[in-house]
Structures are given as C-alpha cells and as structure tokens.
Structure 1
Amino acid sequence: MAPQSSTKTRAHTIWSEKRLVGICLFISLAQFQYGYDSAAVSGFQSMPGFLAIFGYVDPTNPIGYNLTTKVQTLIQSLMNVGALVCCLVMFKFGGHISPRTGLWAASFFGAVSIATQIGSEHLAALYVGRVLLGISNGFFSTYSVIYIGESAPAYLRGAAIGMVAFQIYFGSLIGILVDNYTHVHTGRKSYQIPLGVMFVVPLLISTALFFLPETPRYYVATGQEDKAAAAIRKLRGVKDEVQLRKDVAIMKNAWLQELETGSSVDLLDAFRGTDLRRTLLTIAVALGQAASGMFFMSAFSVYFFVQAHVGKPFTWVTVSLAIALSGTILSFPAVRFLDRRHLLIGSSCVNFAVMLTIAIIYTVVPGSQASGEVLIGLTCIFVWMYGFGQGPVLWALQTEIPSQRFRSQTIGLSQGVSFVASWVTSYCSPYFINPEALDWGPKYLYIWGCSNLILAVFVFFFVPETRGRSLEQLDELFSKRVPARKFKAYVTDLQQVDADDYIEEITLDEKVEVA
C-alpha cells in the first residue's frame, strides 16, 4: 500500500503545481527558437532557392547546388560567435540583469536578427543576422533556465527544466516541417517563410512577460521579501501565508549564509574555494551537450543525409525529430523519479554504441541501400536517447550546480563555453563531411561516439546526484565538500520546504489530521 500511496501523493502534488508547470512550459518556449533555427538552417543548406542566392551550381551534387565550405561554416558558426559575446557580457554584468530583463533583451535581438536575414540577398547581411540571432539565443538559453530553475520546487525542477529539451526538439520538428513544405519553391520564399515563422517566439514571450513576476529567489537576493512571497503566490498558487513566509525565510537565510562565505562580489570568487568546483562542473556539464554530438546532428542533419545518399532526407529528418520528441515527453517522469547520474550515464553509453556502429558500417559498406537504412534507424535511436536522457539531465544540472551568488554569471559562462564548442563543431564539421574536403560522411561519427563514452566516464567520477534537493540544500552539500558519489545519501542540516520528502510528510500529516 505504501508505494501506491506515495505514487498518488506525488501525482497529486504535481497536479497542484499545474499553474507553475504551464508557466515553465511557456518560458521554455525561448528554446524553441534555437531548435527551430538549427533545423531550418540545416534545411537551407539543401534548398535550391537558398543555394541559388548564397551558393553555386554544382552538377555533381545530388541537388544540383552546393555551398562553399567557407559559407557553410560561417552560417552556423557566426550564430555561436554572437552567443559567445552575449554570454561573456552576462558573465560580467549578469548579476545586474534580472531574468525577465534578460528574456526581453533576447526577444529584441531575435526580432532584429530575423528581419535582417529575411530582408537581404547579401552574404554580409546574412552574417550580421546570424550574429544577432546568436546574441538572442545566448540570452534566451541562460535566462529561461534560470527563471525555471529558480521558480520550480525541488521535486519538479528536473522535469520543469526538461521542458527546455522538449522545446528544442519541438522547434526542430516544426522547423524541418516548414522547410519540407517550402523547399519546393525555387525563389527566396523557400527560406524567407521559415525565417518569418520565427517571429512568433520573441513576440509571444515579450508580451507575456508583462504579466509574469521575477523569480522568488531574485526578489530575495535584492531584498524584496514581500515581492518574493507574491511571486510564489502567483507562480505556484500557494495561498497559505504562513507557508509562504517560511519559504521566503529559508531562501533569505540561505542567501545570507552564502554571502557570508565571501564578502567580496569579485567575479573571480566564482573560481575560488567551494565555488571553483561548482563553476568547473557547470562548464563541464555544458560541454556535455557538445560531447553528445547533438550540435552536429541538429546543424547538419539534412545535409548529412543528402551526402549519405539517403532518399527523401527532409522526410527522414522529420521522422527522426518526431521520434525524438516522444523521448523528451517520456523524460518528464524519468527525471522526476530516476537519478540524474543513472540517466545520463546510461543514455551516453547507448549513444556511444549507436554512433560507433554507424561509423563501422559506413567503413565496411559505404553508400549501399542497407547502410542508408541503418543510418536512418540508428539516428532515430540516437536522437530519442538524447531527448530522453542526455538533453534534459544536462540542462537540469547546469541550473542546479552553480552557486546562487553567481548563478546567472556561471550559467552565462557555461553557455558561452558551450557555444564555443558548438562553433568549433559548426566550423570543423564541413571539412569532415563536405565532398570538397575530407568527405568522411558518416565515418565522422567515430569522433562523436568516443566523445559520448568520455562523457559517461566523466559523469561517473565527478558529477553529483542533485535530484530531489532544493537549491539551498545543494549549497550546503557543496560548502561541506561532499564527494560526488555521496551526495545522494548525505543527510543535510537544512530541510527545504519545497523538497519532495517534505511535501509527502505534509500530505501524510494532513491525512492524519483529517482522520
């Protein structure tokens, strides 16, 4: 009876947070832009209407056109350069930027970048638009996860941040679907229509932010306890004033204790003492996104399939993204009830085997129909595993591990490093897969298979288990220098009110009182 009661209790508490779940799903729409753009631009590289303007005629290519390696690298990499610039600015000034302000800035740069890319036929304008979009994505990726992470209770935080991975995949799916219907046009509309659809994200988010508060922890950090209580009330629908004051008091005490660990506000403090471990871990986890190989697959999926002589590449990329989306949906209960470490290690090991198998098959029987079918099937497994395990867990860890004093700066820095890794991937990959260069094709996955294995080993030795811990409890665990593999069993002095075990105790107490 106990397990059944526990399951019902958890389902009840999740339902009681439906308002917050809806808000987090909406805020995670910020990542829709990144996913949509990655898929849409990947499709542009195989669109005659786009290539006729920015590429050149190539009778030897399956679609009759091609891009020079230089243009191909710059289209993808300049977006990452813009994101890096944005993240470096956030590392310096992130402590003065609220989550809502950061999201508004992202919306502004996003709208300007889209208009720039739509309105010109010159490569220079296209490049400027890519840089501006990178700045928008930098703000979106950082402040969306901060808003969600600082608003959601501990028992829902992993699933709530997992919505980021869902929106990336959902955006990718919509992007490739739009491309699939417009790539038949031979004129500029083939790529202008997909770009125009992107206006939806900055418009919706910038409008909705007028009706949403800042995060409770932001208000606490700026000495506005009354507004913090009001934010919890609005975000989560909590009506118990006593409980609200307790929540705010615990947040405030934890914040003051963290400030006492260092009176300086020097950003170099993020690389000193116990904060050094947290900063380096956050950066390493962000690099895990690149190590998974997802940056490569999202940026070059259509082009990759075309060069591998897979028929109907747009259709198969659409199918793989739809399958991946089912993985992200299942990740919501997975990150809620399964350990972060187990999910991340398991999914990384599976993707190591998947990528290695593809590379071996294309080494033995390149260009055959059978190898094309294997590429499609295993690619679907790869993106499903990423959406189920790697994506949501890596995003959650990036939000949970940083010090509260430097959360925005640390996440901004880690995202900057992640965008550097994405830039390196975008810049180097064409030289491996483009027929003008090394022409490795799917054999390029030898590299990404090995990087998945390295990710799994790193997580086993260094990444702590954060599931079910409040942000304040994580502060205590890191301050006490608890080893990574002892995080799960360690009993903290602080019992945060929004933790899972607390909610179950409250529910059981209420049942006793009713009886």
Structure 2
Amino acid sequence: MSSAHLGTLYVGRLFLGISNGLYLTYSATYLGEVAPTYLRGSAVGLVTFQTSFGALIGVLVDNYTAKYQSQTSYLIPLGVMFVVPVALSVGLLFLPESPRHYIRMGLDAKAENAIRILRGINDADRLIAEAASIREAWVIENAHSQTVRLVDAFKGDNLKRTALTLCCSVGQTASGVIFFSAFSIYFYAQAGVKNEFVWVMMSLAIALTGNMGAFFVMRFVERRILLSACSIINAAIMFIIAGVYTRLSTGSYLAAQILVAMGTLFTWVYGIGQGPVLWALTVEIPSQRLRSKTVGLATGCNYLFAWVATYSAPYFINPEALNWGPKYCYIWRVSNLLLGIWAFLVIPDVKGKSLEQITSSMIRNSQGKDGEAVAATEHCENGHCE
C-alpha cells in the first residue's frame, strides 16, 4: 500500500501468499480438531462459506472503487483486507489450543480444560474419557511410527490416507470453481452478458445460501453420496453450458441467459456439496500425527493445479487463441464426472465418526484385521461422544 514500485508489490504479494497458505492449512486443521464429531464436517465446510463471503465483499469493493482515478482505487480494497486478520488475531487470544495438540505434547490437564471450554463439558468423568480416547489413539498411531516427518505420510497405512487427502484437495480445482471464480466476469463479457459485475455479485450471493445450507445438509447426508451427487449435477451443468454455445452463437441473448442461470446454479451446487465436503475430507482423513503436514501438502498441491488451470484457461477461451469460449466447459464436465465417480467408489464413510475412530478404521483396513484401536474410542458409540 505504501509503494507503487513493481518490486514492492511482488514482495507484498509473496507475503500474502505465504500467510494465506498458512491460514488455510491451520484454520481448517484447527476447526477439524476442536469441533464436536456431529458438527465437524459442517464446521470445516464453513471454510467455503468464508471464502465465498470474502469474494463477494471483494467484488463489491472493487466494483465501486474502480471508478476512482487516484490511488484510493486500490488503497481502499487493500485497506478492507485488514479487517478480518485483525479480528482473527484478537479472537484467537481467547481460544484454547486444540485438545489433540495438548495430548501430543503430553499436557493432559490442559487438554481436558480445552475440551471443557470448547465443548461446554463440565462433567469430570466425561472430560477424562474424552482425553483418554484421544491419548489412546495417539499411542496406537505412535506404535507404528515414532517420527512426525512429511515422508511418513507416504509410508505404510498413511500412504492411502495421503493419496485420498491429495485427491480431495485437488478435487476443488477439478470441480471447475477456480475457473469460474477467476474468469467469470470476463467469461460473461465474452458471452455477451450485460452488467457482468452485477451478475457475478448476484451469483456469489446465491452461492452463499448453498454454503449456509451445507451446514445442515452435511449433518445428515453421507459425505460420499453428497459429493458424488453434486459432482454429477455440476457435470450436467457444464455440459449444458458448453452444448448451448455449440448450437447457438456467442452473441445470442438466449445463450447468455442460460450461461448466467447455469453459472449461478453451478456455484450454488458447489457451495452446498463439493466445496464443504472436499474441505472436510481433507481434514478428516489424515492421521492425527501427520494431519497438519498432510493438509498443508494437499493445499499446496491444489494451489499448483489451480495455477495450471488459471494459467491455461485464457488460451482456451480468448478469441485470439483457441476461441472456445463457454465451450471450454466440456473439459470441466469430464473432470466433474470423474470426481463424482471417484467419490462414490473410493471415499470412505466418516460421517458420525470421531477422528480417532477414523484413524482406527483406517489402520484396521490397511492391516486386514480387527484391532484393539476400537477400544480407544468405543465410548463414542453410546451417544455421549462429542
């Protein structure tokens, strides 16, 4: 904000990128570790709501400051970005660390106190049982490996979990949401849509209702079914958009109407199913020991694929290049279809299970036998598990 020199802007953008990578990794991990079992998927899924709401505010501010011919046209949008980090920094002072982190550090008393604050449990026996469940699962995991290195994520039973986590994270890009969020305004303009800024803001606002709906839907619908269904629906939406522009001209008013309607429906379906489920699974599937490392690696891989998608998109849609325009959605139709099929065939059932139960079932499945790990979380089956 203090300089218009290109080098300064690059350095500032670099630090923003680093902070964003850290924030996405640790905010999602923290939410996954502190949320009660029955709310974990819904809570982590709110990451999608946060990004959609932030995008809406960003588009609004950019749209109404673009008319200024002075430095305020970019100083105001950058200044607005201080609000959320400041609020988070203050709020985090009043939040305890994750109970699972305290257990990893051998601080059982602090873990029990964190559970009491975060979940409102005051019964001493329940607090001891919750902490014991986490501790026993931690001991079982350590029996397989004492180290906490990134390379451990690719060894033994962790290899499958890492592969699933990476696929879930990259699935964010495979859904096509990166393409729509990065190029929707240009996309609408090229397709002949008038007042494209207004339509993008409307689309984001409607998508927020899907994000909010996901908080309730994820409590009752299995992750695998919800992700698969939403991916297949979005594959059909992408096919409709591409098909319409295959039959009609780019300047067709009817085609433009269909594009806006289908684009809005796509963001809503993504918000209620794909985004929240993929974020939740990315946090839920890794082992307790390697969760933050695996989530960070997965987020980084998704950033890489998102960069490839964003970098290559102009060559497909620009009139001076391949000139596919909205027909580029044929590619995203295929990726959504593959995501839906993969989710239905591969994603494990984790709904209603504590993170320790997920770990236990993963270990048992990899070893092909029943393990004593169930005992570590058995008390969660009687309705008292938080």
TM-score class, shorter-chain normalisation, is over 0.9
Q: Which residue identity does 2:178 align to in structure 1?
A: F
Q: Which residue identity does 1:371 align to in structure 2?
A: A
% of aligned pairs identical?
A: 49
Aligned with 2:100 (options 204, 217, 220):
217
Q: 1:444 to 1:343 in 2, by over 3 A?
A: same
> Does the Cα contact within 8 Å between 2:148 and 2:290 map onto a contact in 1?
no
Q: Which residue identity does 1:226 align to in structure 2?
A: A
Match of 1:333 in 2: 216
Match of 1:284 in 2: 167
Matched, 1:373 2:254: no
Q: 1:143 to 1:498 in 2, by over 3 A?
A: farther
Aligned mates of 1:134, 1:502 — CA distance in 2:
42
Matched, 1:422 2:306: yes
User: Structure 1 length normalisation: TM-score?
Assistant: 0.71
Matched, 1:502 2:383: yes
C-alpha displacement of 1:210 = 1.6
Q: Secondary structure at the match of 1:211?
A: coil
Q: Which residue identity does 1:391 align to in structure 2?
A: G
Aligned mates of 1:498, 1:311 — CA distance in 2:
55
Q: Which residue identity does 2:117 align to in structure 1?
A: K
> Does the Cα contact within 8 Å between 2:150 and 2:294 map onto a contact in 1?
no
Q: Which residue identity does 2:383 align to in structure 1?
A: Y
> Does the Cα contact within 8 Å between 2:185 and 2:196 map onto a contact in 1?
yes
Aligned mates of 2:12, 2:187 — CA distance in 1:
24
Matched, 1:252 2:135: yes
Match of 2:199 in 1: 316
Q: 1:120 to 1:296 in 2, by over 3 A?
A: farther
Q: Any residues of structure 2 matched to 1:178-217 within 5 Å, and which?
A: 178-217=61-100
C-alpha displacement of 1:188 = 3.2
Aligned with 2:44 (options 161, 167, 171):
161
Aligned mates of 1:175, 1:498 — CA distance in 2:
42
Aligned mates of 1:161, 1:479 — CA distance in 2:
24
Aligned with 1:399 (options 272, 283, 292):
283
Match of 1:129 in 2: 12
Q: Any residues of structure 2 matched to 1:64-75 within 5 Å, and which?
A: none
Aligned mates of 2:311, 2:6 — CA distance in 1:
17
Higher mean C-alpha deviation, range 413-422 or range 267-276: 267-276
> Does the Cα contact within 8 Å between 1:496 and 1:502 map onto a contact in 2?
no
C-alpha displacement of 1:497 = 4.8
> Does the Cα contact within 8 Å between 1:153 and 1:498 map onto a contact in 2?
no
Match of 1:236 in 2: 119
C-alpha displacement of 1:266 = 4.2
Match of 2:362 in 1: 478
Q: Which residue identity does 1:345 align to in structure 2?
A: S
Q: Which residue identity does 1:132 align to in structure 2?
A: F
> Does the Cα contact within 8 Å between 2:185 and 2:200 map onto a contact in 1?
yes
C-alpha displacement of 1:439 = 2.9
Q: What does the per-residue CA deviation read over 1:107-149, in whole Å, with 9 as the maximum and x for residues that have no partner?
A: xxxxxxxxxxx33334433333322211111001100011111
Match of 2:370 in 1: none
Q: 1:338 to 1:293 in 2, by over 3 A?
A: same
C-alpha displacement of 1:212 = 1.3
Q: Which residue identity does 2:132 align to in structure 1?
A: A
Q: Secondary structure at the match of 1:214?
A: coil
Specify which structure has the bigger relative contact order, considering alpha-carbon pairs within 8 angstroms and separated by 6 or more residues: 2
Unpaired runs of 5+ residues, structure 1, are 1-117, 484-490, 507-515
Match of 1:37 in 2: none
> Does the Cα contact within 8 Å between 1:351 and 1:382 map onto a contact in 2?
yes
Work out the number of aligned pairs and report it: 380
Q: Which residue identity does 1:242 align to in structure 2?
A: D
> Does the Cα contact within 8 Å between 1:155 and 1:498 map onto a contact in 2?
no
C-alpha displacement of 1:179 = 2.1
Aligned mates of 2:208, 2:135 — CA distance in 1:
38
Q: Which residue identity does 2:258 align to in structure 1?
A: V
Q: Which residue identity does 1:460 align to in structure 2?
A: F
Q: Which residue identity does 2:69 align to in structure 1?
A: T
Aligned mates of 1:349, 1:130 — CA distance in 2:
36
> Does the Cα contact within 8 Å between 1:470 and 1:496 map onto a contact in 2?
no
